[in-house]
């Protein structure tokens, strides 16, 4: 089953989390001195696979061979011993310690236990850095280094641990072009020394420049492994997204009416750039894009929770200033946040109290809460949205994900919302409740409301949207009508980079 | 009885538990001392508990927002001496009280602004105010108490209406009002929402800064009210008054079931908590237990209540 030139073989790797099969019989093989690109959408299973390889997760089943030997990776420390190093997007460095101290943290050379041999520490660290051909002084503090150099310190740290397999998670995400060039030089250098590199990136252009082979994952499944020089950019995108869309999504098209929201040249710091679009009554406007492309920030900005640098927003033809969520709520906007538990609900409060929260003035008469009215309205939404709860006084913490999401929806329904912003509306919700949420969206648009729906799930975006905007790097990189939209086209816009750049 | 309990959630059960704890304590002291269960002694307990109980109301609001106020004792002393100086200047009682209350409210408001606009953790902001208000009171009086007031002022401590001591009436009125605010007004609902999940509260359109300022202001205001009660009782406003009161108030609040993590709690619970501390002090005094040992007992009760709380909750989840 093993291959002599391969350093790592992973077979039939399976990992299940409550309600999600994150990895379903996935395989991966690494050869000495290759850069192996791991490709897939958000949630395809790349991170889970790498966490298993680096010992952070334990697989449910499957087999791993290192140098042809069957191996059970038991812990991050064990993975380190086996020569597996991982460099996360977020570095694990102490900024106030020197480069050398960071490289040898916990393994400092000593005269005798407890007394550090500083000369040896600095010399050894410097030797590793020099071998990487990077100009970093081992005595300098990490905080004095730029992002690219900090990344080099991480690489040096991994090498000091004798890493033979190095996992790099989106290493170029925050680097400038020059820095990327020097990173690639270092990677080539490592290849020559026989280090195998697992390279995770969404930048397809880079893959052609640096990669040897590509393994594609989709929805936790292994799709294929191919040499980079045998496939095209289009092949890659197809493999990433080419899933069967067995149309379970009960979209009902509503009549599209006049413009309800208009955004013009919206800028937020450097995070959102020149965003312009219109939203119509009865419409579901899908917003696709990779994580970090600015989708959630756009949602928060439209809800008054981010400071707008410049740009104009009109609602029903009137220019509005959205300086706080209160402004947005009064203007008829409701935000169903990505994370219900941390941003959508006050978990200790009851179903009833959460529903009335954004618009409690409705239930106040002469300064006093009218419990009868509040109860009646809560009961009405519990019935209308079929919220499964023993009573309106139950704390929402005890409700299931789908029912919690319905409570969030009730909040905005109760506040006379005209523009609903859904950020990942069905994340962590079981299939049955998902369908109910979609049906609710249909009912909202049928009644003349408009919906902005941010989603990472292609079937959801394609199934529910009347029109799709794709975001990348804080900008709108493409717009597609529901008729022309395909998974490939969305992915193409989300990944950016023209064909020419890739060649 | 069993059916009744089935309808209660954990927090309501918790409140009953605290109440039964208070009853059990009373029963114990009734058995151990013939002097405990008499009308005069029980009114005495209520009267002695009233000052801490009033301060604890403000503390409860603040703790429900997931904050803390360490300055209540110092603010009591400072607003007390300012009020006393106004009264000694010959101004009418209502004006003296109003000035004292204004001082307390302002101190609380400063706490609130430090927390909301200064973004300082409540522990640190109010720790600073604890020192500042204490120093201000001492500086203002040169460290000397201001003593001797009209009988009409002292009525606030020694008077009775329908045989009920005035401090007890003040306490009952404050608790009734606070209970009403917490359960039946917008501000009460927002207090829980802010403490339960500030992000969700903000994204529900709640002006968190405004409400936190009001709440810290109220805590200061109630400290000033306690200053009125204490000054009237001692016939003296002392710049060293109220030392360690913050700890009693926190203890009463926490024994009463308010979560230090915020989002949960009732003033009824706090009242029971304040009475438990009062009954313990009184009962142990009647039994001749030294005040040193009393401190050990009260500390143990606080820890015991929270241990029970945490473990019951964990076993339920």
Geometric angle at alpha carbon A251, from A245 and A252, rounded to 5°: 150
Q: What is the pLDDT of residues A178-204, one digit of tens each?
A: 888 888 988 998 899 899 999 998 888
Q: Name the residue facing B189 among A325, A344, A360 (closest C-beta).
A: A360
Encoded tokens for B206: 């709640």
Interface of B with A (CB under 8 A): 9, 183-186, 189-190, 192-193, 196-197, 199-207, 263-264
β-strand pairing of A284-289 with A467-472: parallel
Rounded CA-CA distance B139/A96 in Å is 43
Asked: is A244-332+418-434+446-503 a CATH 3.40.50.300 domain? The reply is yes
**Taking 50 as the threshold, does the pLDDT of residue A263 lie above it?**
yes
Top pLDDT among B1 and A291 is at A291
Q: Test B197 with A353 for CB contact under 8 angstroms.
A: no
Distance from CA of A350 to the nearest CA of B (A): 11
Neighboring chain A residues of B205 at a CB cutoff of 8 Å: 324-326, 328-330, 358
Average pLDDT over residues A68-90: 91
| Strand spans (E) along A257-351 | 259-268, 272-280, 284-289, 310-315, 318-320, 333-336
Share of chain A above pLDDT 70, in %: 97
β-strand pairing of A196-200 with A165-169: parallel
Q: How confident is residue A497, by pLDDT bands cut at 50, 70 and 90?
A: low
Query: Which of B7, B203, B210, B317 to mutate against chain A (most A CBs within 10 Å)?
Result: B203
Q: What is the pLDDT of residues B13-48, one digit of tens each?
A: 777 888 888 999 999 999 998 888 998 899 889 988
User: How many H helices and E strands in chain A?
Assistant: 17, 24
Task: Say how many CB pairs under 8 Å bridge A and B.
Answer: 76
pLDDT of residue A11: 94
Rounded-to-10 torsion of CA B9, B14, B16, B19? -160
pLDDT of residue B313: 66
Average pLDDT over residues A287-293: 88
Neighboring chain B residues of A342 at a CB cutoff of 8 Å: 197, 199-200
Q: What is the pLDDT of residues A372-387, one digit of tens each?
A: 999 999 999 999 988 9
CB atoms within 10 A of CB B308: 14
pLDDT of residue A252: 87
Contact predicate A169/A89, CB 8 Å: yes
Q: What is the pLDDT of residues B58-96, one digit of tens each?
A: 999 999 999 999 999 999 999 999 999 999 998 999 999
Rounded CA-CA distance A358/A344 in Å is 11
Q: Give DSSP secondary structure letters for A427-464.
A: TT--HHHHHHHHHHHHHHHHTT-EEEEE-S-HHHHHHH
Encoded tokens for B119: 């973004």
Residue A309 CB burial class (10 angstroms; 0-12, 13-18, ≥19): middle
Distance from CA of A370 to the nearest CA of B (A): 8
pLDDT of residue A237: 86
Q: Give DSSP secondary structure letters for A346-395.
A: -TTSBHHHHHHGGGGGGGEETTEE-HHHHHHHHHHHHHHTT---S-TTSB
Contact predicate B96/B220, CB 8 Å: no
Contact predicate A187/A209, CB 8 Å: no
Domains of chain B (ranges; CATH) run 49-307 (1.10.3470)
Top pLDDT among B7 and A298 is at A298
pLDDT of residue A250: 84
Highest mean pLDDT out of A64-68, A305-309, B214-218:
B214-218
Q: Test A326 with B200 for CB contact under 8 angstroms.
A: no
Distance from CA of B180 to the nearest CA of A (A): 9
Q: What is the pLDDT of residues A116-167, one digit of tens each?
A: 999 999 999 999 998 888 889 999 999 999 888 898 899 899 889 889 999 9
Interface of A with B (CB under 8 A): 303, 305, 324-326, 328-330, 335, 337, 342-349, 353, 356-358, 360-361, 364, 367-369, 371, 393, 395, 411
Q: How far is CA B130 from the centre of its chain?
A: 16
Neighboring chain B residues of A325 at a CB cutoff of 8 Å: 202-205
**Taking 80 as the threshold, does the pLDDT of residue B56 lie above it?**
yes
Rounded CA-CA distance B78/B71 in Å is 11
- Which SS3 state, helix, strand or coil, does residue A222 take? strand
Rounded CA-CA distance A121/A127 in Å is 10
**Taking 60 as the threshold, does the pLDDT of residue A500 lie above it?**
no
Q: How confident is residue A502, by pLDDT bands cut at 50, 70 and 90?
A: very low
Provide the residue ranges of all domains of chain A, joining segments of one domain with +: 6-241, 244-332+418-434+446-503, 343-416
Orientation angle between helical segments B186-196 and B166-184, nearest 10 degrees: 70
CB-side neighbour CA atoms (13 Å) of A151: 24
Distance from CA of A407 to the nearest CA of B (A): 13
Q: How confident is residue A51, by pLDDT bands cut at 50, 70 and 90?
A: very high
**Taking 70 as the threshold, does the pLDDT of residue B315 lie above it?**
no
Neighboring chain A residues of B200 at a CB cutoff of 8 Å: 342-346
Encoded tokens for A221: 């499944």
Q: Test B196 with A347 for CB contact under 8 angstroms.
A: yes
Share of chain B above pLDDT 70, in %: 95
pLDDT of residue A223: 93
Rounded CA-CA distance B263/A29 in Å is 51
β-strand pairing of A61-66 with A213-218: unpaired
Query: Which of B177, B191, B205 to mutate against chain A (most A CBs within 10 Å)?
Result: B205
Share the mean pLDDT of chain B: 90
Q: How confident is residue A1, by pLDDT bands cut at 50, 70 and 90?
A: very low
Average pLDDT over residues A258-274: 92
pLDDT of residue B8: 58
- Min mean pLDDT across A88-92, A368-372, A446-450, B204-208 is at A88-92
Residue B124 CB burial class (10 angstroms; 0-12, 13-18, ≥19): middle
CATH number assigned to the domain with residue range A6-241, chosen from the 4 options 3.20.20.210, 3.40.640.10, 3.40.50.1100, 3.40.50.300: 3.40.50.300
Rounded CA-CA distance A340/A433 in Å is 15
pLDDT of residue B7: 53
- Min mean pLDDT across A43-47, A222-226, B219-223 is at A43-47
Q: Test B206 with A343 for CB contact under 8 angstroms.
A: no
Residue of B nearest to A415 (CA): B204
| Long-range CB contact pairs, A184-188, < 8 A, 24+ | A184/A209, A184/A210, A185/A133, A186/A132, A186/A133, A186/A134, A186/A152, A186/A155, A187/A35
Distance from CA of B188 to the nearest CA of A (A): 10
ipTM: 0.85
Distance from CA of A279 to the nearest CA of B (A): 22
Distance from CA of A415 to the nearest CA of B (A): 10
If you ran DSSP here, which 8-state letter would residue A253 be given?
P
Say whether A244-332+418-434+446-503 and A6-241 share the same fold: yes
Nearest Cα to Cα of residue B154 among B163, B137, B166: B166
pLDDT of residue A499: 41
| Strand spans (E) along B209-316 | 236-237
Distances (CA, A) of B72 to A130, A475, B174, B230, B298: 61, 51, 16, 13, 20
């Amino acid at each position: 089953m093993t291959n002599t030139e391969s350093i790592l073989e992973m077979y039939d790797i399976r990992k299940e989390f409550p309600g999600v099969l994150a990895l379903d019989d996935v395989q991966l093989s690494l050869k000495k001195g290759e850069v192996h690109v791991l490709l897939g959408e958000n949630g395809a299973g790349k991170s889970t696979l790498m966490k298993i390889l680096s010992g952070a997760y334990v697989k449910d089943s499957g087999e791993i061979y290192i140098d042809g030997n069957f191996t059970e990776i038991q812990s991050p420390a064990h993975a380190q011993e086996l020569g597996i190093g991982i460099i996360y997007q977020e570095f694990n460095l102490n900024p106030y310690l020197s480069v050398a101290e960071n490289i040898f943290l916990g393994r400092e050379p000593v005269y005798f236990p407890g007394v550090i041999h500083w000369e040896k520490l600095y010399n050894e660290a410097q030797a590793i850095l020099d071998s990487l051909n990077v100009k970093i002084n081992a005595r300098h503090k990490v905080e004095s280094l730029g992002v690219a150099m900090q990344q080099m310190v991480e690489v040096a740290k991994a090498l000091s641990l004798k890493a033979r397999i190095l996992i790099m998670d989106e290493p170029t995400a925050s680097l400038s072009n020059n820095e990327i060039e020097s990173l690639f030089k270092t990677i080539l250098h490592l290849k020559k020394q026989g280090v195998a590199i697992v390279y995770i990136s969404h930048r397809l252009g880079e893959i052609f420049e640096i990669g040897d082979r590509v393994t594609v994952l989709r929805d936790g499944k292994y799709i294929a492994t191919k040499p980079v020089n045998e496939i095209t950019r289009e092949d890659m995108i197809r493999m990433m997204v080419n899933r069967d869309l067995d149309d379970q999504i009960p979209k009902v098209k509503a009549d599209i009416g006049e413009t309800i929201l208009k955004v013009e040249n919206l800028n937020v710091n450097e995070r959102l750039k020149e965003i312009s679009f219109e939203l119509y009554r009865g419409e579901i406007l899908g917003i696709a894009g990779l994580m970090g492309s600015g989708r959630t920030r756009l949602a928060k900005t439209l809800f008054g929770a981010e400071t707008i640098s410049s740009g104009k927003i009109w609602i029903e033809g009137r220019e509005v200033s959205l300086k706080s969520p209160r402004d947005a709520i009064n203007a008829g906007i409701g935000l169903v946040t990505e994370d219900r538990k941390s941003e959508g609900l006050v978990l200790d409060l009851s179903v009833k109290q959460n529903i009335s929260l954004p618009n409690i003035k409705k239930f106040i008469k002469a300064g006093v809460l009218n419990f009868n009215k509040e109860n009646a309205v809560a009961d009405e939404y519990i019935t209308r949205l079929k919220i499964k709860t023993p009573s309106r006084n139950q704390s929402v913490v005890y409700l299931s994900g789908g029912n919690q999401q319905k409570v969030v929806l009730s909040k905005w329904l109760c506040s006379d919302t005209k523009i609903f912003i859904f950020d990942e509306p069905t994340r962590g919700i079981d299939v049955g409740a998902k369908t109910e949420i979609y049906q609710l969206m249909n009912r909202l648009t049928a009644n003349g409301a408009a919906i902005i729906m941010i989603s990472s799930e292609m079937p959801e975006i394609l199934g529910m949207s009347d029109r799709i905007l794709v975001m990348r790097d804080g900008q709108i990189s493409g717009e597609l009508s529901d008729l022309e939209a395909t998974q490939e086209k969305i992915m193409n816009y989300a990944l950016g980079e023209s064909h020419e750049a890739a060649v | 009885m069993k059916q009744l309990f089935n309808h209660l959630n954990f927090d309501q059960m918790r409140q009953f538990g605290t109440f039964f704890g208070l009853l059990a304590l009373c029963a114990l002291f009734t058995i151990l001392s013939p002097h405990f269960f008499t009308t005069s002694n029980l009114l005495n307990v209520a009267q002695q508990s009233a000052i801490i109980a009033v301060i604890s109301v403000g503390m409860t609001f603040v703790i429900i927002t997931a904050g803390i106020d360490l300055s209540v004792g110092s603010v009591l002393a400072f607003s007390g001496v300012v009020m006393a100086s106004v009264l000694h200047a010959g101004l009418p009682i209502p004006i003296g009280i109003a000035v004292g209350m204004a001082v307390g409210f302002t101190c609380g408001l400063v706490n609130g602004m430090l927390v909301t606009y200064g973004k300082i953790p409540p522990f640190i902001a109010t720790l600073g105010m604890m020192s500042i208000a204490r120093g201000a009171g001492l500086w203002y009086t040169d460290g000397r108490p201001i003593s001797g007031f009209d009988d009409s002022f002292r009525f606030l401590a020694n008077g009775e209406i329908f045989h009920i001591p005035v401090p007890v009436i003040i306490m009952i009125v404050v608790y009734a009002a606070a209970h009403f605010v917490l359960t039946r007004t917008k501000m009460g609902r927002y207090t829980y929402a802010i403490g339960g999940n500030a992000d969700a509260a903000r994204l529900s359109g709640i002006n968190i800064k405004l409400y936190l300022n009001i709440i810290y202001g109220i805590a200061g205001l109630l400290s000033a009210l306690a200053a009125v009660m204490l000054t009237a009782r001692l016939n003296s406003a002392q710049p060293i008054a109220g030392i360690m009161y913050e700890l009693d108030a926190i203890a009463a609040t926490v024994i009463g079931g308010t979560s230090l993590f915020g989002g949960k709690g009732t003033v009824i619970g706090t009242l029971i908590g304040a009475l438990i501390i009062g009954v313990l002090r009184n009962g142990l005094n009647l039994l001749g237990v030294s005040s040193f040992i009393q401190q050990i007992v009260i500390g143990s009760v606080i820890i015991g209540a929270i241990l029970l709380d945490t473990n019951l909750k964990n076993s339920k989840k």
